[in-house]
Homo-oligomer: A and B are copies of this chain.
C-alpha cells in the first residue's frame, strides 16, 4: 500500500484535483493521500498559504480581516464549484477559518502557524469530500485525532516516536485516508508546523508509520533532472537515485525535495517515487537505498550560491593540537553551521552559507579568532558558489576529478576550493558566483551531453 503526497500545484484548482482523483482511482493501493494547500494556478497567482499569511498579518494588526478572509474562501469556493460540490463543505471551511482568526493573539508565532495550517487542513477536508462524492470512499483525518505528536519547536517541529505508533493505527481505516500536510500537535495539543517543505515531511512520516511499500510524491515535473533546467538546456531525467545522492543534490540547489523530509522513509527503508500529477504515466524518479547495475559515474550536478569563506592562517598552526576544534567551537558559539573546512599546514578555511553572517558576528568572529587563537590573518570572503557533482561510487572512477577540473578550467574560471573525501558520493568545487552558470553548463556537457561515457 502506498502513501501519495500531492504538492501545491497538484491541488491548486478543481481541474488539478480531478487529476489527483483519477490518479488515486487508477491504483487501489493508493490508500493514504497527503495534500498541500492549494498552490499557484499560474505564475503570477498567489498561493493560499500566502493569502493566509496576509490574513494573519491584518488580524495581528487588529485591522479589518473580511477582505483577506474572503480571498481565501473564494479559492476554496471556486474549487468546490468546479468539483460540483454542495455548499456544506464551504461552510465547514468558512466556520473553521473564522474560528482560527478569533484565537488568542498574544503568541504571534502560534497565531500565524494556526492560520497558515488551515490551508492544508481545509484542503484535505474538501478533497476527501470530493473523493466520496465521486464514489471513492474517503475520510478526512486530522493530525490531532490521528496522534501526529511533535515536539514544541515552532516552525521546525519534529515528530516524536509515539507519533509513528499512533499513525500506524490508520491502517485500520477502510476508506482512503486524506491527511493534511505541514503540521502536527504537541502533547499539550498545540499546533506546530514543520520546516520548509512541510507536507513532504508529513507524507514521509505517514509512509514510515503505516509501513507503506512506496511513498509517492506528486509534483509538477516528470522527474528530477540531472542539472537545473533553468541553466542547462533540456537536461537528462534521472530514473533512479539513491537517498544519499538525492540528499547531496537537494542540499545544494535542487529544490525538488527538502532533505529532512527523506529521513523517516530513509530510516524505514521505504522507496520514494517523484511523479508528475500532470503526466502520471511518466516513470518519474525513484529514490532507493541501493541502486543496481552500472550507471554513468555522475548522477547529477547541483549548484548553489550564497556561500562565504572564513580564512584563518597562523604559522605552525598544524603543530597546535586543537586549533581546528577551537575554531569550530567559536563558530558553534556564534551559531554558525559550516559545510567544509579545507586546510593547509598553516591555514584553514571554513565554508558556510552567507545568510548566517551579520556585520556584528563577522566583526566578533574575526576579533575572537585573532585574540583567542592568536591567528595572524583572519578574514571573510563572500560571493561564492558551490558546484557539487554527485554519484554513488564516483570515488572509484579514476580520472573523474581530472575530467571535472579540466571542464571547469575550459570555462576560464578559477577553482577556489576542491573538496573530495575519502569515500563519498560527492565532489565539490568552490567557485566565484559569477562563474556558476557557465561551469554548470560545461560540466553537464562533460558528463551527460558527451558521446563518451566514462
* Chain A residues within 8 Å of B, Cβ to Cβ: 243-244, 247-248, 251, 259-260, 263, 266-267, 309, 311, 313, 315-316, 318-319, 321-322, 324-325, 328-329, 332, 335, 337-349, 351, 381, 395-399, 401-403, 405-406, 408-409, 412-428, 430
Contacts and interface: CB of A to CB of B under 8 A. Distances in A.
Given A325-B328, A418-B420, A344 B408 contact: no
A381 B422 contact: yes
Contact of A349 (B342, B343, B421): B421
Given A325-B332, A348-B421, A409 B398 contact: yes
A424 B406 CA distance: 20
Contacts of A337: 318-319, 321
Contact of A416 (B347, B395, B413): B395
B328 A420 contact: no
The 3 A-B residue pairs whose C-beta atoms are closest, nearest first, are A399-B409, A402-B405, A349-B422
B418 A345 contact: no
A324 B309 contact: no
A318 B425 CA distance: 15
A357 B395 CA distance: 25
Given A318-B339, A322-B332, 7 more contacts: A328-B328, A340-B342, A396-B414, A398-B414, A401-B405, A401-B415, A416-B422
- Among A328, A349, A395, A414, residue most surrounded by chain B Cβ atoms (within 10 Å): A328
Contacts of A345: 247-248, 251, 259, 426
A324 B327 CA distance: 11
Contact of A341 (B341, B395, B409): B341
Contacts of A420: 342, 415, 417-419
20 contacts: A248-B344, A248-B346, A260-B319, A263-B315, A321-B332, A325-B329, A339-B343, A342-B342, A342-B420, A344-B426, A344-B428, A349-B423, A381-B422, A398-B409, A399-B406, A401-B409, A402-B405, A402-B406, A416-B422, A418-B418
A430 B420 CA distance: 10
A187 B403 CA distance: 59
B395 A414 contact: yes
Contact of A424 (B347, B396, B428): B347
A260 B345 CA distance: 12
Given A321-B335, A338-B324, A340-B342, A417 B422 contact: yes
Contacts of A259: 316, 345
Nearest to A338: B324
- Among A247, A263, A415, residue most surrounded by chain B Cβ atoms (within 10 Å): A415
A309 B419 contact: no
Contacts of A351: 422
B418 A419 contact: yes
Nearest to A252: B345
A396 B344 CA distance: 16
A14 B422 CA distance: 53
A450 to B, nearest CB: 16
Contacts of A406: 399, 402, 405-406
A266 B318 CA distance: 16
Contacts of A251: 318, 345
- Among A324, A337, A413, residue most surrounded by chain B Cβ atoms (within 10 Å): A324
Contacts of A335: 321
A341 B324 contact: yes
Contacts of A267: 315
Contact of A343 (B329, B381, B419): B419
Nearest to A249: B345
A402 B344 CA distance: 19
A237 to B, nearest CB: 23
A343 B344 CA distance: 15
A329 B332 CA distance: 13
